[in-house]
Chains A and B, each alone.
Chain A
Amino acid sequence: MLLKLSLDKTGGLFTEMARDRTLYLPVKRGGQADFAPWTPEAEVCLDYLNTARSIKDFFLPQTENIAAFKREGKKITITPTHEEPSPFVVFGARACDVRSLDVLDRVFLSDPVDTFYKAQRENGVIVSMACAEPEETCFCNAFGIDAAEPRGDVVTWIAGNFLYWEAKTPAGEALTGKLETLMSEADSSDLKEIEEQGKAARAAFKELPLGKLSLEGWSGDDLLGKFTSPLWEKMSKSCLGCGTCTYVCPTCQCYDIQDFDTGHGIARFRCWDSCMYSDFTLMAHGNPRKSQLERFRQRFMHKLVYYPANNDGMYSCVGCGRCVAKCPISMNIAKVIKALGGNANA
């Protein structure tokens, strides 16, 4: 059932949602929008398009304290320290970020299951928001994502002066049950407005600089041909190895495990890592990825060839465009897709 709420009443909706769980939503901070816990003072911005960081933060946090150790003489004690998960809502996730959870799920929920990630998934309700217009850097449509009709436990649209709300899963229904009294039922004219807006959005996505990006040539049947392409050298030449692309990427899931001496013992953390870094694969006897060429190639081969090979053809990119916007040398996956896919003129 499609519900609606006047946009000037969203404060009440957020208050209610945050009553028994943490509500994360896009908040303006330091000149950019990012998901942050809702407070009555938070400068909520629903007209943002893409947050600087993705919703990956809530399921695979940048750092997680997983264990504590004490070493006394020859003795060691181990204490698991991972925080008990608590229920939360992510409000305003865009279609690209929602799809990124499918990509992460296939990594962390496949056997053997990552219990930390699973607990976060089970405790998180995703309230997505349709895009009424795109960013210049968007290319989610290349991956078959409909930004105007995202997935999620609940899907919302903003059209005219209203927020529209539709539960899609049991978890979404349960959340909606607590909020229903704040909203009224939408009618067919509302539905028409959403549909019209969706049509316009889809048309706008196609007109973007990357709107006609095609995955042609990336069907996965030429792993070694792609790997040995002479183009990698040219494309990787200016890569700084800063790793920004991997950190802002909603599907980059590589992690490190590091110990930190707190002065009172050892804290073990799981934290994000980046295949763009030279010590990512460094071993005592050498490094199988000796230069930035190999590291650069690994990142894109993983997203466009290796991951699909292991996951029924699903690409590990959702076209959110964050790496396009953030790369200091303007190199990105879209350029790789074009150059090595053979549609350089697209």
Chain B
Amino acid sequence: MPDVTCGVKSGDLLIPSLGVVTEIRRDTPDVKTFRVNSAEGGGVCFPHMPGQCAMLSIPGVGEAMFSITSSPTNTEYMEFSIKRCGTLTDWLHEMEPGQQITIRGPYGNCFPVETDLKGKDLLFIAGGIGLAPLRSVINYVRHYRKNYASVDIVYGARSMDDLVDIDEIRNEWDGRDGVKVHLTIDRAQEGWTGNVGFVPDFVKSLGLPTLKTVLMCGPPIMIKFVLAALQSLGFKKNQVYTTFELRMKCGIGKCGRCNIGAKYVCKDGPVFRCDQMEEMPDEY
């Protein structure tokens, strides 16, 4: 397990360090995965744990929080799967390998891979770009496969073209080391032989045992419906973990905007167990 400290090198928390984008992969029409190395000496910019995030910036364009998609077991580089949806992400999608960026982090807590998840049957549920933070956990779990029991991955997207990391899912995850992948897309499409339908209904239809620990990520609306679907199947809220994303500026619980009730997503989260959310107002 990598040694994780709050990854800020100097005392000045808001001053980033330098990274370089070494490879860019197009995943879907609007998602690219960026491989990032430290500009000084290569390798990762800092150690992290699955579920943690980093602030990436192009000075003059913007700075925003992204989940770290690569597993901490990968010490050669970090990866970020980023959907094109705003000023900064437009810029990132246009840039070429070799571009330097600024990076600071890691921020937030992580999925409890070394504690509560150990020895458990794991069910990952992701929607769209929501796979990004879970990919880090999935590859961590695959690396330390003996530490966990069964692994099921439910993944859905708008269309088959919007499934992020589909090559890795099909070639490296599905059917290897007892990992089962269940894919769905929102609407029927030529060339697609898998399930058609939204993630919550798909989860219900799979007939999975309820003794699993769930890790889910997706748009807020999906999180709400999947949680309801899981509860109708008999899952308890304390079996379900999710991760949030809200607008952030600092990453350290001080700029004051990413709170849901009394919890700061950047510092108390981004990972929450769903029973903790009972005290959090519906404002996400």
Contact = CB atoms under 8 A, between A and B. Distances in A.
A203 interface: no
B259 A302 contact: yes
A253 B12 contact: no
Contacts of B89: 284
Contact of B254 (A114, A259, A284, A294): A114
B245 to A, nearest CB: 8
Interface of B is mostly: loop
Interface stretch (A187-195, A304-312, A334-342): A304-312
B279 A74 contact: no
Nearest to A301: B261
A75 B100 CA distance: 5
B211 interface: no
Nearest to B88: A284
A80 B255 contact: no
Interface residues of A, number: 51
Contacts of B262: 223, 305-306, 309-310
B247 A283 contact: yes
Interface string B30-61: 00000000000000000000000000001111
Task: Give the contact-size bracket for chain B.
Answer: 35 or more
Interface in A276-317: 280-285, 288-289, 294, 298, 301-302, 305-306, 309-310
A82 B63 CA distance: 19
Interface of A is mostly: mixed
A150 to B, nearest CB: 26
A186 interface: no
B203 interface: no
A200 B125 CA distance: 66
Interface in A72-121: 74-76, 78, 80, 82, 107-108, 110-116
A268 to B, nearest CB: 7
A288 B249 contact: no
Question: Of A74, A76, A253, A261, which is in contact with the most chain B CB atoms at under 10 Å from its CB?
Answer: A76
A270 interface: yes
A289 B99 CA distance: 35
Given A113-B11, A114-B254, A227-B261, A259 B62 contact: yes
Nearest to B21: A74
A145 interface: no
A223 B279 contact: yes
Given A76-B100, A223-B279, A227-B261, A256 B247 contact: no
Given A76-B59, A76-B102, A255-B249, A112 B13 contact: yes
Interface of A: 66-67, 69, 71, 74-76, 78, 80, 82, 107-108, 110-116, 223-224, 227-228, 253-257, 259, 261, 266, 268, 270, 273, 275, 280-285, 288-289, 294, 298, 301-302, 305-306, 309-310
Query: 7 nearest interchain CB pairs?
Result: A254-B256, A69-B59, A284-B85, A284-B86, A306-B262, A309-B262, A266-B60
15 contacts: A71-B58, A74-B99, A74-B100, A76-B59, A110-B253, A113-B11, A114-B252, A255-B255, A256-B249, A257-B249, A273-B249, A283-B247, A285-B85, A288-B284, A306-B259
